[in-house]
């Protein structure tokens, strides 16, 4: 079985790395946010503003559990690790790869992005607070940790390929 969960903070490159790995191994790639947007027919921002974070989190867990291919990459939203239920589920149903990046690098990547409801307002402060709050949850959830700062996508996927 080769079911890989990519976890990490917003802006750590989960989507880009997931797509590159899917190509490398010729296996399907699912993104939990995109799957949810497809089913709901509306954006993550709209789901947050209309139904709230609690609703989003419960739908996110449902989507996670609905992806059951034996061979696939699953890229997850940055908050997937918040629930113990999700951390345990991923760890027992596949290999969990954590993509890490420094706060500076994350801010560089998502500085101008307005599609992430949790970062509305003072991005620097929001990113720093959430990052510190979540750091240990990411570490707990992961089988493998990859530091991505200053690395190309090619280097990152080679490292994952070697470590798995
Ligand atoms: C979230 C991260 C987002 C998305 C939602 C909540 C989070 O995904 O799931 O906005 O709580 O970190 P990305 O990590 O793909 O930006």
Taking only the tens place, the pLDDT of each residue in 12-70 is 999 999 999 999 999 999 999 999 999 999 999 999 999 999 999 999 999 999 999 99
CA of 45 to the centre of ligand 1 (A): 10
- Nearest protein CA to atom 12 of ligand 1, as residue: 78
* Substitution site in 19, 78, 83, 130 for ligand 1 pocket (most atoms within 8 Å of beta carbon): 78
ipTM over 0.95: yes
Residue-level pLDDT at 114: 83
CA of 11 to the centre of ligand 1 (A): 9
Taking only the tens place, the pLDDT of each residue in 63-105 is 999 999 999 999 999 999 999 999 999 999 999 999 999 999 9
- From the alpha carbon of 75, which atom of ligand 1 is closest? 15
Q: Which residues line ligand 1 (CB under 6 A)?
A: 10, 33, 44, 77-79, 116-118
CA of 33 to the centre of ligand 1 (A): 8
Residues tagged in the binding site annotation: 11-16, 33, 57, 78, 116, 134
126-158 exposure pattern, b = at least 16 Cβ within 10 A, e = fewer: ebeebbeebeebbeebbeeebebeeeeeeebbe
123 three-state secondary structure:
helix
Which of 73, 6, 61, 71 minimizes the C-alpha distance to 36?
Answer: 61
* Global confidence as pTM: 0.96
Q: Regarding the domain delimited by 2-154, which CATH topology (the fold level of the hierarchy) does it fall under?
A: Rossmann fold (3.40.50)
Taking only the tens place, the pLDDT of each residue in 102-161 is 999 999 998 888 889 998 888 899 999 999 999 999 999 999 999 999 999 999 999 999
Looking at residue 39, the DSSP 8-state letter turns out to be: H
């Amino acid at each position: 079985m080769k079911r890989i969960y990519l976890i990490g903070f917003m802006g750590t490159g989960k989507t880009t790395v997931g797509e590159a790995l899917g190509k490398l191994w010729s296996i399907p790639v699912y993104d939990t946010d995109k799957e949810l947007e497809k089913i709901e027919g509306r954006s993550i921002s709209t789901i947050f503003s209309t139904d709230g974070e609690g609703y989003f989190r419960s739908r996110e867990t449902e989507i996670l559990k609905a992806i059951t291919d034996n061979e696939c990459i699953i890229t997850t939203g940055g908050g997937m690790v918040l629930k113990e239920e999700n951390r345990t589920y991923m760890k027992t149903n596949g290999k969990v790869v954590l993509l890490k990046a420094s706060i500076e690098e994350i801010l560089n990547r998502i500085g101008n992005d307005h599609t992430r409801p949790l970062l509305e307002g003072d991005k620097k402060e929001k990113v720093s607070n959430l990052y510190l709050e979540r750091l240990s949850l990411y570490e707990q959830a992961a089988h493998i940790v990859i530091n991505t700062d200053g690395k190309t996508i090619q280097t990152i996927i080679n490292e994952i390929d070697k470590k798995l």
